[in-house]
Every structure is written in C-alpha cells, then in structure tokens.
Chain A
C-alpha cells in the first residue's frame, strides 16, 4: 500500500513545493517553487531524491503529521528546523524512517523562515502544469496544507537512512544586486543609497515579496507602462519603500525596477525573517553568474552517505550520533 502523510497540525504557510513551474509565465502563471533551493536540495538528498523533488515547505510555524499505509523515509532541512519521530529528536543532517502510526513533527523555523520536509519517493500530489508547487494566489498546484490534508508519498523501496556532515548552509554577507531595467528612471544617487544603507525585512513579507523598510527612494515622476518582472526584481512603488519580488510574484508589473537580486542570493534573502537587517551590494554579471554556478555546484555535490543498519534513534539517545557520522564520512 502506498504511504500517505496525514497533516495533523501546521501553520498557515505550509505548502508542497518543488523546483517550480516553467513555461507558463507568458500566461501570467508564477514560477513558484521552493523559496530556498539549497535547503530543498539538502532535504531531498538525505531522502535519496533528485534535488528538485516535491517536498513540504513550512513557513515559521512547525508541523505535525501522521504516517499511514506504509513506512516512509523522512529528511528535514532549513535553518534551525528540528524533527522528531514520536518523542525522539532526530539530529540535523540525518534521514530517518517512520512507520505507519508514527508521528513526525517539524519544529518552528528558529533561525530563518522556511523549513523543508522531504520523503523518499517525493511528495506525490498530482502535478499541475508541469509542477507540484502550490501557488497560493491562483490555487494552481492545489491548496495550502491544513489539518486533515492527505499527501501521497511516491513509491520508493530505498528506505535506508542517510547522513551528511557538515550540513551546508548559505554564506553570509550583503545580498548582491545588479542594476535593474529601470535604474535610469531614478536619481543617480538612488543606487548609491540602495547599497549604502541598512534595510530591514518588513512584516508583510511572504512568498510573493520581501517588503523592505528603510529610507525612501524617490522614483522620477512619470508613469511606466507595465513590463515583465522576475523573482529578484527590486521595484519601487510610489511610497519609495522597495519590494523585492520572490518566487510567487506576478509575471508583470508597473513599478520601476531599480535593481535585481542575483539568483544565487534570492534563497538566502528568503530565509531572512521580518525584522532582519541586511545590506545590499552591487555586483557585475560575471560575479552573479559565478555565484549561480557555485550554488548549482553546491546542490549537485550534496552526497549523503548511507547509514544502513544503524538505529539512529538509539544512537542519538546515547548521544553518539556525531561520532558515528564523522567516522562514516
């Protein structure tokens, strides 16, 4: 029998996400997809999946679900996200098997915004327009998770736990941007101001955008005819408070775009919670492409080792797990 995950409790921002939806933006369909591709890739690697397989993405709040129908191999990733199987905590960087009737709990995201729960075989909801990613605003891909949601698990015979140490994470430093398509709409000092000051992530931030709080940026007067936008576009509405568009953003917009966050830094920005302070830095195309290549290599290089035959729970209870994993890696 195919395994099913039954959601028992979750926050309002939990959804199924994968590598995103490609090819429909010309029809106004957002790309969606995991806000943090490195964390998605890590959870999937620990579960034995390809990096873009569908997983559960949480937002700030934790989540509890029950296993039904068959055993499932679980893995978690995300900044400060812990997992428990029933009452036993699972250490970071290790996947764990749970059997029907057992409950898997994800902690709230302590040090970021989004956590990822992957299962071997992937979350097997029905793909829509080429992706299992849920787009909240349109309902494409299904609904956000709620208590009672049943998530089918893809068939997978390989349920041996894996481990990876050290657990990779995002680098520090400013969020890097390139000048945007309408940077010449702004006063020449606008880009200088953008990278000189400290910004704060605003409370309204969600999967569509990061609302920045800081000194206002005044666009030149005049109306702009809408054009295409991308995740990473830093647009400046009349209020002067920039908005950085994220993965669920619309496909077109009418606000001038002063800058664009480089693709490699968007995942890091996505993990900055409301109130986080950060700065921006201007880089050139070569730097941005190099960073994209590094991130792609980091995800491709995630290669956890099997820890077959090891009872992770017992080892953890005996506080031996770190040594065991080090020995095997």
Chain B
C-alpha cells in the first residue's frame, strides 16, 4: 500500500494523511490505522482523532519517542491488514419531512424526485461514519446517493434542532446538539446521539455503519419519549 504522509501539528500532535479526498477507501485506511494503534499503543500517545482522510495522533512530547512514533505509524499504515471484524451497524429511526425536515420538499424538487422517492433513496443506503466533529457527536456520513447531493444553503440557519438529519454537498449527517447549520434539513431522529451521563455518552463512533428506518411523526413522538427516559432507540443490527 502507498505510504501516507506525516505532518507535524506542533510539538504534541502529528497528522497521518492518506490524501485530500472524501473517499471510502481512504477513510477505511484511516479507521484501520486508528484501530491498529489502539490495539498496539505507542507509549506517550494520548488520543487519536480519525477524520475523512487523516488520523490526528496527539501525544505527550515529554513521554514520547517521536522517531519511534513516526516509524510505527508508517509501519502500521502500510502493513497488510488481517481480516477485520465487521464494523458496528446501527438502524436509526428518522421522521422525514414536515416539521422534522423543513427542506425535504425543496431538496427533493432540486433532485427531480418526489419527496417519497427522495426519502426512499436516502433510506436505502448503508452509510459509514467517516468523521465526528464540528460539534460533540456530529456524525458525517459517507455513502450518499449522488442524486441526493446539494450544495449547502446560501444562508446558514443560526440554530437547527438537535439530532437533525441533513445533507450538505455530497455528505449527509446526523446532528447531535442544537447548533448553527448551513445544511439542508431532511429529517430528525428521536434518538439522542449525544447524551451526557448516559452509557454510552455517544451512540456513534467513527467507522460505524448506519442505516435509516423511516418512522411517522407519531412514532417519532413515542420514540422520543423513550429516548428521554434513557432508551437508546437505535438498534444494533451488526
């Protein structure tokens, strides 16, 4: 395999960069390196942040042999991988359109689809969590049907509801907490991707797979009540 490039990020972090692209194969290599490093830790490494295309490795500069770390990262990144355990896959309920997805009709029209066909296409795919960032628990998903893509809104919204499902460019995402967004809102899950004090605090991790299960607004209300009581509401199916 081609070697990634190593880029120091100050004295306490290094980025292992697999290429400036959003690509399932590149992202899979990031996740594989993240897992390999977790399984075989280098002394001094504090935590890692996997993103679309790079693994950020943070370390204590006073407890890390930098040359050893760099060599190990390159070795792990280019080593042939054993057959790996399948990623976790979650079925996530979503109420599409209406109050939960204010932009569904407009984005469907932009795609030349009826809202029902748009929802069917969005719910047909298996997505991969390529990165978590922007806000705690905000999951960027790869695998969107290209027909459903649409550039971000010209004017971002100052606040969108927590747990919104949205589309921005070629990506779709599951939000976590309320916050600003320039993405198109197509639905909302009653699940709570981020719930402080719950175990687990976060439902999704980078590398997980997600499928969406459409639910009605009435079902959403019932599921949201369960989620408020601590139920995960999402179902692990692999």
Contact = CB atoms under 8 A, between A and B. Distances in A.
A181 B7 contact: yes
Interface string A180-210: 1110000000000000000000000000000
Interface in B172-194: 176-177, 179, 194
Interface stretch (A83-91, A92-100, A287-295, A320-328): A287-295
B17 A227 contact: yes
Contacts of B166: none
B146 interface: no
A179 B6 CA distance: 13
Given A28-B135, A224-B20, A226-B133, A181 B62 contact: no
Nearest to A180: B9
Contact of B132 (A23, A28, A257, A288): A28
B56 interface: yes
A170 to B, nearest CB: 17
Interface stretch (A34-42, A52-60, A148-156, A259-267): A259-267
Nearest to B5: A181
Q: Which of B7, B22, B197 has the most CB of A within 10 A?
A: B7
A227 B132 contact: no
B61 A26 contact: no
Contacts of B58: 25, 230
B49 interface: yes
Contact of B8 (A181, A227, A296): A181
A233 interface: yes
B29 interface: no
Given A230-B10, A263-B61, A292-B61, A25 B52 contact: no
Contact of B61 (A129, A226, A257, A288): A288
Given A140-B196, A252-B131, A257-B9, A181 B206 contact: no
Contact of A292 (B7, B11, B202): B11
A288 B202 contact: no
B62 A292 contact: yes
A22 interface: yes
Contacts of A296: 62
A226 B56 CA distance: 12
B136 interface: yes
A27 B47 contact: no
B101 interface: no
Given A289-B62, A292-B61, A181 B48 contact: no
Interface string B28-68: 00000000000000000011111111111010011000100
A2 interface: no
Nearest to A291: B11
B62 A293 contact: yes
B136 A29 contact: yes
B53 A225 contact: yes
A277 interface: no
Given A129-B196, A289-B61, A225 B134 contact: no
**B interface majority secondary structure:** loop
Interface in A280-329: 285, 288-289, 291-293, 296
B50 to A, nearest CB: 6
A178 B8 CA distance: 8
A71 interface: no
Given A128-B196, A129-B196, A227-B52, A27 B132 contact: yes
Nearest to A264: B11
Contacts of A27: 132, 136-137, 194, 201-202, 205
B15 interface: yes
B138 interface: yes
B202 A227 contact: no
Contacts of A140: 136, 196
Given A230-B56, A261-B10, A251 B133 contact: yes
A279 interface: no
Given A26-B48, A227-B51, A263-B61, A252 B133 contact: yes
Interface string A232-270: 110000000000000000111000010011111000000
Given A27-B205, A251-B132, A264-B11, 12 more contacts: A26-B48, A26-B206, A28-B138, A28-B176, A29-B136, A137-B135, A139-B177, A228-B15, A230-B13, A232-B9, A250-B135, A252-B131
18 contacts: A23-B47, A28-B132, A29-B136, A129-B196, A138-B136, A140-B136, A180-B9, A181-B8, A181-B9, A181-B15, A227-B51, A228-B13, A230-B9, A232-B10, A257-B9, A260-B8, A261-B10, A263-B11
The list of the 6 closest CB pairs from A to B, nearest first, reads A228-B56, A252-B133, A260-B10, A181-B7, A288-B11, A228-B49
Interface of B: 7-13, 15, 17, 20-22, 46-56, 58, 61-62, 66, 131-138, 176-177, 179, 194, 196-197, 201-202, 205-206
